[in-house]
Amino acid sequence: MLKLPERQDRSSRSTCRGYLGHEFSGVVEQIGNDVAAYAPGDAVFAANETGGAYAEYLAVKPAAVARKPANLSFEEAASVPVASQTAWQGIFTHGHLEKGQTILIHGGAGAVGAYAVQLASHAGATVIATASGDDEAYVKSIGAGRVSDHRKEQFEKVVREKVDVVFDLVGGDTQQRSFLVLKEGGHLVSAVQPVSQEEAARHRVSGEMMRLAPSGDVLAKIARLLEEGTIRPDVATVYALQDAAQAWKDIATKLPRVHGMSPSGPAAKHGKIVLRVA
């Protein structure tokens, strides 16, 4: 086990369960007898399934931890683990996305969606995303080749060729209509709600709802991409721990973006909300 003095954390509703605070960055304070990969003083970051990252110290399984990218601040690093790993596992582990394939990402401007767009683009896939028209320039800037404005058009009417993978961060009717644009043998992966197995069988595709399984190995790969500048984090606001209640109020107003869609109003920002604990 690693005992970490918590530095910064941001957590909204996520696929992890437990106490508040499901992702963090910090410095190793103490290690267990069987831990060889880390030493006191190492800067690390991780997603923690049991939560608790609002505390000053946190015990974490070494298998979930990775070294903090040297080019990121603790605040930036704390914003990465949940969203980036959800995106990675959604499109690669469950979606089996490969170079040359086409992926449709619903909610490309959201926290998870933005990482999915970046990772899929880096992998050599053609990326189509749904988002609001206000977010089109942003989503294209991070790797989407085409953006469908969910407020003005139905994506299934503008996606001309069927796609290999759909990554659903929206759910509801959007998920149901996604079967119409998916190739036979394709994959529909949702991070927000179960996928109808009857509909999947009828369209001859696979469909599943994923749940994040934090992995230090995956996070280390993401860390390398961050250090190379291939992908980038996005922090909207940093709060002190004593302002956590206000942070949660602000999260509530941005909750649609957290889960993939874009909030309304010109004042809405991209990015994660971070708490500075110490």
Each residue's pLDDT tens digit, 43-70:
999 998 788 788 888 889 999 999 999 9
Contact 133, 149 (CB under 8 A): yes
pLDDT score recorded for residue 14: 40
pLDDT score recorded for residue 265: 42
Contact 251, 84 (CB under 8 A): no
Q: Which residue has the tokens 């015990």?
A: 59
Task: Give pTM, 2 decimals.
Answer: 0.88
Q: Could you name the CATH architecture of 2-82+213-276?
A: Alpha-Beta Complex (3.90)
Give me the phi and psi of 164, to 5 degrees please: -85, -35
**Burial (Cβ within 10 Å: 0-12, 13-18, ≥19) of residue 5:** middle
**Burial (Cβ within 10 Å: 0-12, 13-18, ≥19) of residue 114:** buried
pLDDT tens, residue by residue, 130-149 = 999 899 999 999 999 999 99
Average pLDDT over residues 222-248: 92
Give the model's confidence band at 269: pLDDT under 50 very low, under 70 low, under 90 confident, else very high: low
Domain 83-209: give its CATH superfamily.
NAD(P)-binding Rossmann-like Domain (3.40.50.720)
Give the model's confidence band at 27: pLDDT under 50 very low, under 70 low, under 90 confident, else very high: very high
Topology agreement, domain 2-82+213-276 and domain 83-209: no
Q: Looking at per-residue confidence, does 13 or 176 come out higher? A: 176
Q: Which residues are CB-contacts of 73 (< 8 A; sequence separation ≥ 6)?
A: none
Buried b (16+ CB within 10 A) or exposed e, 151-185: eeeebeeebeeebbbbbbbbbeebbeebbebbbee
Cα–Cα nearest to 236, from 42, 54, 77, 79: 79
pLDDT at residue 266 tops 80: no
DSSP letter for 243, please: G
| Domain edges within the chain | 2-82+213-276, 83-209
User: For residue 44, how many other CB atoms are within 10 A of its CB?
Assistant: 25
pLDDT score recorded for residue 258: 41
pLDDT score recorded for residue 52: 79
pLDDT score recorded for residue 18: 53
pLDDT score recorded for residue 110: 92
